Amino acid sequence: MRKSRRGLLLAIALGFTALAPVSSALAQSVQAPSKITIFVGYSATSGIGYDTYGRVMSRFLGKYLPGNPTITVSNRPGAGSMTLANYIANVAPKDGSEIALIGRGVAMDRLVYGDKSAARFDATKLNWLGSMNNEVSGFYISDTAPVKNLKEVLAGKALNVGSAGAASDLTAFALVMNSILGSRLKIIDGYPGTTEILLALERGEVDGLVGYSWGAARTGSASMLKSGKLNVVLQLALKKHPELAHVPLIMDLVKAEDERQVLELIFARQTMGRPFVAPPGMPGETVNILRSAFTSAMKDAELIATADKMSLEIDYTSGEDVQELVERLHKFPLKVIQRTQEIILSK
């Protein structure tokens, strides 16, 4: 529901009063707004990544918050952004002065890894502000791979795929493909990230990779895709990317409901590809104001133009929709959660 400027200022005052000093400053006067920090759970990168999204959002979020507070970005990498997620959940002030951009799979970590999860929080209690992108990842093979297409992969022909480690999406996605689709992907660990895996692919050390975002691939690997050195043969998400209408979607290859729910539990993270989150226990009005500002920023013509110039893919998901998704996944049948954990922990 839309509020007048006066009403919005009153709401921020009510939501922030009697909390931490930073929030009091924000509530006291639009002339003296407080600083808000967006923590990013990954290091700054030369290519397109979480840091890129966080810095673009920092340029526009304050424009839609009462008092137009200054927004700064601080990188706090560690454990695939789980270090930051634990900080936001258990340490960060509950006044809106600190929010975070964390890994897309963090919300499902305890569901997927069970007792082995490093998450020290209930993801349904976090306040999800929205996601800047609805990701679609792919399964890619090189032109020198021993298999040439998806049909051969599904027939069980073996090939090597690179991964950044046991806890990475690349490994999780490959394990799910092996278990549900019957593929024989041999996971080669030890690469720091996608950039190194692509170099290994060019050297012939691996035959492909699983979980490479199409939004990043279509810019970062445009020449390889155009030349045919790299081919996307399967989409890994809950829905197809409009640019990949000809490429099969993994959800369309599985009919059994329990197996589809396993896939949904794994690939739902794509829907919240670049998720922003605030601490639990915040006043509802504060959360609403932050979500509203996030939504307005995502619709800002200048932000959209900036993203377009950077070839930064934008496909916004609201905070309410992310919250509903996280809560729904946590209500999945126990047998589905257990099956998922068996698959992911099998390596």
The reply to whether 147 and 25 lie within a common domain is: no
Judge whether 89 and 120 are in contact, CB under 8 Å.
yes
The pair phi, psi for residue 104, each rounded to 5°, is -65, -25
Q: What angle do CA 272, 275, 280 make, to 5 degrees?
A: 115
- The Cα 336–Cα 252 span in angstroms is 19
Q: Is residue 342 part of a domain?
A: no
In the predicted structure, residue 6 carries a pLDDT above the cut 90 = no
The reply to whether 147 and 258 lie within a common domain is: yes
Three-state DSSP state, 75: strand
Three-state DSSP state, 86: helix
Three-state DSSP state, 293: helix
At 249, which CATH number?
Answer: 3.40.190.10
- Which residues are CB-neighbours of 49 under 8 A, at least 6 positions away? 42, 216
The pLDDT mean for the chain works out to 89
The reply to whether 104 and 142 lie within a common domain is: no
The reply to whether 99 and 16 lie within a common domain is: yes
- The Cα 208–Cα 224 span in angstroms is 13
In the predicted structure, residue 294 carries a pLDDT above the cut 90 = yes
The reply to whether 12 and 126 lie within a common domain is: yes
Provide the domain count of the chain: 2
Judge whether 192 and 165 are in contact, CB under 8 Å.
no
At 325, which CATH number?
Answer: 3.40.190.150
Q: Is residue 340 part of a domain?
A: no
Q: What residues are paired with 249 via a beta bridge?
A: 235
Q: Is residue 235 part of a domain?
A: yes
Q: Is residue 71 part of a domain?
A: yes
Among 216, 233, 268, residue at a domain's last position: 268
- The Cα 151–Cα 213 span in angstroms is 22
pTM for this entry: 0.83
The reply to whether 240 and 300 lie within a common domain is: no
Concatenated DSSP letters for 203-217? HTS-SEEEEEEHHHH
The reply to whether 175 and 322 lie within a common domain is: no
The reply to whether 180 and 251 lie within a common domain is: yes
Task: Supply the range of the domain harboring residue 324.
Answer: 5-134+273-333
The reply to whether 52 and 142 lie within a common domain is: no
The reply to whether 10 and 33 lie within a common domain is: yes
In the predicted structure, residue 75 carries a pLDDT above the cut 90 = yes
In the predicted structure, residue 166 carries a pLDDT above the cut 50 = yes
Give tens-digit pLDDT for 226-241: 999 999 999 999 999 9
The reply to whether 157 and 74 lie within a common domain is: no
The reply to whether 261 and 278 lie within a common domain is: no
